[in-house]
Amino acid sequence: MVEGEEPDNKTMNKDTQTVMRLLEVDEQTALKIQNKMGENWLDFSECDQREFNRATRTAYRQILQHSPG
């Protein structure tokens, strides 16, 4: 994925659902995680499931560390 490029809707929906299932989060949180994954330069089209899962957990930890409270 090129910097600033959004994943297409089909990929976004599939990946969003995967994030929601993996971390048991709502859609809004899953989208934030997915955006963070893109900021971290994850190539959604080239990564395997293991890389995706690792990137998902890393992005979630980063979001939690930067959230107030």
Q: Output the tens digit of pLDDT for each of the chain's 69 residues.
A: 344 555 555 555 899 999 999 999 999 999 999 999 999 999 989 999 999 999 999 999 999 998 876
| 40 part of a folded domain | yes
- The verdict on residue 3 lying in a domain is no
Number of domains in the chain: 1
Phi-psi region of 38 (alpha: psi -120 to 50; beta: other; left: phi over 0): alpha
47: in domain: yes
For residue 54, being part of any structural domain is answered with yes
pLDDT at 3: 46
Domain membership of residue 6 (yes or no) is no
Residue 5 placed within a domain = no
- Token readout for 47 is 């990564």
Q: Quick check: pTM over 0.85?
A: no
pLDDT at 9: 54
For 48, left (φ over 0), alpha (ψ -120 to 50), or beta?
Answer: beta
Q: Which domain holds residue 31?
A: 11-66
